[in-house]
Amino acid sequence: MQRKTFLKLTASLTTGLLLNAPAHAQTTTINVAAFADFAGPFANVMPQMQGGRLAVIEWWNKEVGSKLNVQIVVKTFDTRYDVAQTASLWPGIKAELKPALVLGLGGPDAAALQQRLPEDKVPMLLGTAAYGFGWKPNQWVLNLRPTYPHEAAGFLEWFRTTKLEGKRPVKVAIITSEATPAFADMAKGLQSYTKANPDKATFVEAIWTEVQPADLTLAVRRLVNKGTDVIVIQTNTAQAVATKRALQALGKNVPIMLSLHNGVVGSSKALGDPNGFAGDFEVGAIADASEDDTTARKFYSMLQEKHGLKSGWNAMTIMGLGQSIVAVRAIEATIKAKGVGKVTGEAVHETLLASQFTSNDLMGILPSVDFSNDAPFPTGTAKVNIATMKDGKVVRVAGDVTVPMVPKW
Amino acid sequence: MDPSGIFSTSYARDRALIRTRAQWVTLALFIVILLILPWFASERLVAVANLMLVTSIVVVGLQITTGYAGQINLGQAAFMGVGAYAASVVEVKAGLPFWVAVPVAGLVAALAGWLFGMTAKRIKGFYLALTTIAAQFIFHFVVLNLPSSWLGGVNGFSLEPARLGTFLFNTDRSLYYLFLVVTMVMVFGAFGILRSRHGRAFVAVRDDDVAAGMMGIDVAGAKSRAFVLGAFYAGIGGALWAYQVRYVSVDQFTLFNSIWFIAMMIVGGLGSIVGALIGTVLIRGVQEAITSLGPDLVERIPSLSSDLIFASMNVFLGLIIMLFLLFEPKGLMHRWNILKTNYRLWPFHH
Amino acid sequence: MIIEFINYTINGALLGLLYSLVAMGFVVIYRASKVFNMAIGEMIVLGAFLLWWAIQSRGMHPALGIAVALGISVLIGLAIERLLFRRLIGESVFSMIMVTIGLLILMRGLVLVIWGPQERQFPAIFPLAPIILGEMIIPRSLAIGGLIAVLAAVALHWFFNRSRTGLAMSAVAEDHQIALAMGISVRRSIAFAWALGGVLSVISSMVYLSGKSLTFMSSEIGFAALPVALLAGLESIGGLLLAGIIVGVVQALTAAYIDPLIGGNAAAVVPYIFMLVVLVVRPTGMFGWKRIERV
């Protein structure tokens, strides 16, 4: 008797499980690897970027993915912004996770995986601006923004046409460091632009100093004496602060152009004056961090309310948002083109190259994105947003400014 | 030190590296395990092993210069970089295959080592350490500022995979075997050098170079040779690194890398090749373990934020190194030797 | 043109004096304990963070904040001696260097764990307005720093070469065992050395970062100051001033005139090349003790 009951129970249990099983098996998971830096130079801004990334994935899973029976799963790895660490982590990630896409962090990830990804056939998306050494054809490491010199060129041309009324070329100087090739690259690219466009910009000088400069007063005075119109600082906050102190000591007011990772808010905080960088600019080919009620801001607020986004509205979060929105749109397009089961790295790469994502698709975070085979960043469609600081807040000055051509250097 | 009961009856036997049958068997087993490792280890472990192999070549070189000859060398990463760049130039510019590029890289690095070795003749101790730090900065500056067409300047060098006929070394497994072979050759070479009269000269110079000079040893030559050898090893390691990562850039060979190499040497034990290998494996292993465990720890203990855990790695490793220096300054090998001797002499203490 | 040149020279000399101040922290530790402190950069960052914590985070008045930071750094120096170097008395130069390298890694990690990697504002301890002499502009913090460096060098020079305790400590720098044999407390000497090193690190960080920003990357100045120590010769404190001025001036002139020409940062490398050249000619630096080696 007991044996029969036991058998009956087992039979009903198994049938029950079998009947239920197909329902679970229907949702496909797509794996995405994310690189983070929790102990290196970007550790302080990592939580915000990560917050942005994860919130977008959450949103897409709920809104779009659930309808397609697809869930994107993100696994984060700490690469410490170090080439050796990335190189040793990657084979394991590739074998175990089999990601369709990688959300990269910056220079070292690109350096470590530039040669491997074409063979491993997984594309990587970077939210930071590109560097000259990544400017090669047939890349699988794709930047959502053009190079730093491109962004600077966009700003310089805007500055020339508005502030100088197009009357003469802009005199531009750059303060950077040789501590890493990435920083040195910024100067070389800028020089390439000025050499190719002598009617639009003149290169005054490149000041090479330490990552934490001791004193820049005399160097900046040299720039001021030569009539510099704009000082470009795309490296870090320490150099921005040192330059600002130098300008204060000299009593001169030359506008500084910053990038997004060392933007006006961060630099003002490091200076100790919440309005310290008023009148200076931050430039990037991605949504700016102003309080204007743009599509991007609306998207951010929605994520904050409904999907647990805790990071503030600032450049790092926006970069995380930008990375993930392109990622999810690419995956979405691949699903539509090839089917749910065929979302491999190769397919996603193909989609990225073939499709054009409009700014609306990307919720206004980026201008329309169109990758081609000859550069790792969107060549034709890049536009920069220029913001400045007023009363301690980020205020947009110009949006969707075209980026001029910069010859490869 | 042989176990009791084992005597050498000829000079050759006395000098031999592997003396007893038990040692032969252990060595054979060890090599077999290394050879079949890729089959039962995950891909990530193979990649980690590759990095360990490349680093261990560099650290063995450092051991020769600093551990055996007593010449403090804080510029080993710069020599590694010289090798990496040399291999890239040979491969990319001259189009020669890797089995030419790697030895050439070693020789070029050895040349750089010789140049700095010349300063070692007059400069001693800490002053020498600083000269090697200068090597780091000079390397950085020179590579970044030479025209891009020479050494890639800011752009660095991208390489194609190593090629043997039509076979491409572009998977971790194939690279593993290549690196394993090269490492075995280099380590065996190191053992050979060190038991020759050159090795003995190194040790004499380390212990007291004035006395060594009085005994007729060419002290200047020995110091120079120590640097040349150490740099040669670093160059080979650098070339292999170039073929593994396939993108060479100046910021992969910084002063901090040199400092880590020294740390690996300390933990393993100064003056022992096996110690260098153990130190490399241990430190890299701990780094990788923390990187792997980190995300899991963060998930399980949400109160510890992720930046705390990963930043703690530096603290943890620094602590290990310091503890070793305080309690076991002669490194793990010393501990191991004591263990071995105790085992052999049991139940006697010493 | 001439005025500019003089301005560059003066500012370079003042920057060089900042390097001497940093190098003084290094040389003092060596002079009283025979330890080469490779972790000098990290000690400066630690000192800077203590100042930041006291003045910015806790809102203390700058004078009080400085006093607190100095006090804590003295305690840290004593702790380092107690925990680490007490065991290493009599060990080789090599072990000492390695321990400080380990200390470097450890301190960097600790700073990251305790304070995190954010950029922080460093208080403007010295007034921000520069000193203006006609057409020349001289940063006030560097000028005051230069004065501090000179005073410190004179005081320390007198202490180590003329006072009884100082001379006893110099004996420790020669040889631990002999000092012990002569009844000099090596322990106390080392403790004093590290405490003094900590104090000098705090002062150096004040001059270096006043009014600017602070992160863990600021430790780079430690390595930049080492050529100054070597140029002077590791045992000479007075010589540091001269060596600092030379290195600072050479660096500043290179940055002003040569860097724009070649489009690279030669100014960072020039101190090292200069040091190399001098070392080849005088292996113990300009004023270092010439050691007689005995077999």
Give the chain C residue whose CA is nearest to the CA of B210.
C295
Whole-model pTM: value is 0.87
Sequence-distant (≥ 6) Cβ neighbours of residue A225 within 8 angstroms: none
Alpha helices in A179-279 (DSSP H): 181-196, 217-225, 237-250, 264-271
Q: Structural domain boundaries of chain B?
A: 42-345
Size of interface B-C (CB pairs under 8 A): 131
pLDDT at A18 over 50: no
Residue predicted with more confidence, C149 or B270 = C149
**A60's tokens:** 């897409």
Q: Where are the beta strands (DSSP E) in A108-166?
A: 124-130, 141-147
Return the residue matching tokens 């054809």.
A137
Kindly state the tokens that stand for A98.
């089999």
Q: What is the three-class DSSP state of A293? A: coil
Interface test with B, best of C89, C269, C281, C294 (most B CBs within 10 A): C269
Q: What is the mean pLDDT of chain A?
A: 83
Look up residue C127 and give its two tokens.
């007034």
Whether C247 has a pLDDT exceeding 50, the answer reads yes
Strand pairing report for C136-138 and C131-133? antiparallel
Tell me the pLDDT tens digit for each residue of C185-208.
Answer: 888 888 888 899 999 999 999 999
DSSP assignment, residue B3? P
Please give the pLDDT value at position B185: 93
Q: Are A142 and A352 in contact (CB under 8 A)?
A: yes
Facing residue for C260 by CB, picked from A44, A205, A272? A205
Least confident of A76-85, A186-195, B269-278: A76-85
pLDDT at A240: 92
The tokens describing C169, both together, are 């400590």
pLDDT in tens, C54-76: 888 888 888 888 999 999 999 99
Tell me the mean pLDDT in the region A87-113: 84
Measured between CB atoms, does C215 come within 8 Å of chain A? yes
CB contact under 8 A, B154 and A91: no
CA–CA distance, C140 with A90 (Å, rounded to integer): 50
For residues C36, C37, C41, C47, the Cα torsion angle rounded to the nearest 10 degrees is -140
Q: In CATH, which superfamily holds the domain spanning A149-285+386-402?
A: Response regulator (3.40.50.2300)
For C242-275, b/e burial (b = at least 16 CB within 10 A) is: bbbbbbbbbbbbbbbeebeeeebbbbbbbbbbbb
Assign B109 a pLDDT band (cuts: 50, 70, 90): very high
Alpha helices in chain B (DSSP H): 11-15, 21-40, 43-62, 76-88, 98-120, 125-145, 148-151, 172-194, 197-207, 209-214, 219-245, 255-268, 273-300, 306-327, 331-345
How far is C180 from C175, CA to CA, in rounded Å? 9
Distance from CA of C121 to the nearest CA of A (A): 4
In angstroms, rounded to a whole number, what is the distance separating the alpha carbons of residues A45 and A51?
Answer: 10
CB atoms within 10 A of CB B53: 26
Q: Which of B83, B329, B56, B52 is nearest to C101 (CA)?
A: B329
Cβ distance C8 to A39 less than 8 Å, yes or no, reads: no
CB of C113 less than 8 A from some CB of B: yes
Read off the pLDDT of residues B239-288 as tens digits, 9 standing for 90 and up. 999 988 888 888 889 888 898 898 888 888 888 898 999 999 998 888 88
pLDDT at A393: 84
A38 reaches B (C-beta below 8 A): yes
Tell me the shortest Cα–Cα distance from B237 to chain A, in angstroms: 14
| Crossing angle (nearest 10°) for helices B43-62 and B273-300 | 140
Alpha-carbon dihedral of residues C101, C105, C111, C117, nearest 10 degrees? 130
pLDDT of residue B303: 58
Inspect the interface and report whether the beta carbons of A211 and C120 lie closer than 8 Å.
no
Q: Where residue A315 falls among pLDDT bands split at 50, 70, 90?
A: confident
- pLDDT tier at B234 (50, 70, 90 boundaries)? very high
Residue-averaged pLDDT of chain B: 84
Closest CA to A295 of A369, A386, A366, A383: A366
Largest CA-CA distance found in chain B, in angstroms, rounded: 68
Q: What percent of chain A is modeled with pLDDT above 90?
A: 11
Q: Are C126 and C210 in contact (CB under 8 A)?
A: yes
- Residues of A with CB below 8 A from B244's CB? 87
pLDDT of A23 above 70:
no
Q: What are phi and psi of A263, to 5 degrees?
A: -70, -175
For residue B337, what are its two tokens?
A: 């030797």
Both tokens assigned to A174:
């750059």
Which chains, if any, share at least 3 CB pairs under 8 A with chain C? A, B
What residues does each domain of chain A span?
A: 24-122+293-366, 149-285+386-402
Percent of chain B with pLDDT over 90: 26
Q: C268, A178: Cβ pair inside 8 Å?
A: yes
pLDDT of residue A243: 93
CA C222: distance to chain centroid?
A: 7
Range ranked top by mean pLDDT from A63-72, A127-136, B107-116, B240-249: B107-116
* CATH number 1.10.3470 given to B42-345: yes
Interface test with A, best of C57, C121, C142, C270 (most A CBs within 10 A): C121
Amino acid at the residue B155: N
- So what's the pLDDT on residue C71? 92
Question: Is B159 in CB contact (< 8 Å) with chain A?
Answer: yes
Q: Are C16 and C239 in contact (CB under 8 A)?
A: no
Which H or E run contains B172? Answer: helix B172-194
pLDDT at A19 > cutoff 70: no
Q: Work out the pLDDT band at B307, boundaries 50, 70, 90.
A: low
Compute chain B's Rg from CA coordinates. 21
Q: Decide if C213 and A270 are in contact by the 8 Å CB cutoff.
A: yes
Of the candidates A119, A116, A122, the residue with the CA atom closest to the CA atom of residue A103: A122
Q: Please report the pLDDT score of residue C120 as a whole number.
A: 83
Residues A24-122+293-366, CATH architecture: 3-Layer(aba) Sandwich (3.40)
Contact B127 C230 (CB under 8 A): yes
DSSP state of C4: H
Whether B34 shows a pLDDT value over 70: the answer reads: yes
Of A208, A218, A238, the CB nearest to C265: A208
Whether residue A95 lies within 8 A of chain B, CB to CB, comes out as yes
**Residue scoring higher pLDDT (B128 or B241):** B241
CB under 8 Å to B168, separation ≥6 — which residues? B161, B162, B174
pLDDT above 90 for B233: yes
Residue of A75 and C151 predicted with greater confidence: C151
Average pLDDT over residues A291-313: 84
Containing A151, the helix (H) or strand (E) segment is helix A148-162
Cα B135 to chain centroid distance, Å, stands at 18
Q: Which two tokens stand for residue B55?
A: 């680093």
Residue B154 with chain A: CB contacts under 8 Å: 132-133, 181, 184-185, 188
Identify the band that residue B171 occupies on the pLDDT scale cut at 50, 70 and 90. confident
With beta carbons less than 8 A apart as the criterion, state whether A72 and A65 touch.
Answer: yes
Alpha-carbon span A191 to A173, nearest angstrom: 10
- Residue B252 sits at the chain C interface (C-beta within 8 Å): no
**Number of neighbours of residue B65 by Cβ within 10 angstroms:** 31
What CA–CA distance (Å, rounded) separates A234 from B62? 38
The alpha-helical segments, DSSP class H, found in chain C are 2-33, 40-51, 62-80, 93-115, 140-162, 164-174, 176-181, 186-209, 220-232, 238-253, 259-262, 266-281
> Residues B74-90: what's their mean pLDDT?
92
Strands B247-248 and B157-158: antiparallel
CB of A304 within 8 A of CB of A311? no
Residues 115-174 in B contacting C (C-alpha not used; CB under 8 Å) = 119, 122-127, 129-131, 133-134, 137-138, 140-141, 144-145
Taking the C-alpha atoms of residue C250 and residue C244, their distance in angstroms, rounded to an integer, is: 10
Which residue shows structure tokens 């491969």? B91
